[in-house]
Amino acid sequence: MKYDELTEMMGVDANIDPSNLLSEALRTISITNKWLGFLDNEKLVLEKRDSDLAALESDLFDYYSGRENPNNTEDPYGYNLAKTEIPKYIQGNPKYISLRNIRYTQEIKVKRIEAFIKALQSRSHLIHEAVELMKFYQGGK
């Protein structure tokens, strides 16, 4: 799921209808469950991105150390760098940079969903406070 879609859905789910607080209180559990499901899915995608990045890093290490060409499209022994130089070449590789950025974007999504779930945990308290405030305005205790 795209980040923009997630934030749009968060805006809808975070909204509390003050005219129907009972329904909103009951809806909190289903909203939380929905977002926990999203979190599980996005964490799985993040784990996949981590695995892809590790595999690419291993392939690039082999390539830059002169052991093997991962794509077999170039001379397999085009590089034979010292071990201390290899990380710099790996981090500058366009495929590595692209995959690292994709992985980072996924991490941002996971953190955003975690923060939203944490905010949802206070939703019931906010609804309770709204009910108490309405009672106060109506002259109740």
Task: Judge contact between 80 and 65, C-beta under 8 A.
Answer: yes
Mean pLDDT computed over 99-121: 96
What pLDDT shows up at residue 71?
Answer: 59
In angstroms, rounded to a whole number, what is the distance separating the alpha carbons of residues 92 and 75? Answer: 19
Q: pTM of the predicted model, to two decimals?
A: 0.79
Residue holding tokens 């392939």? 59
Question: Model confidence over 62-86: pLDDT tens digits?
Answer: 888 887 655 555 554 466 788 889 9
Q: How far apart are the first and last CA of the chain?
A: 46
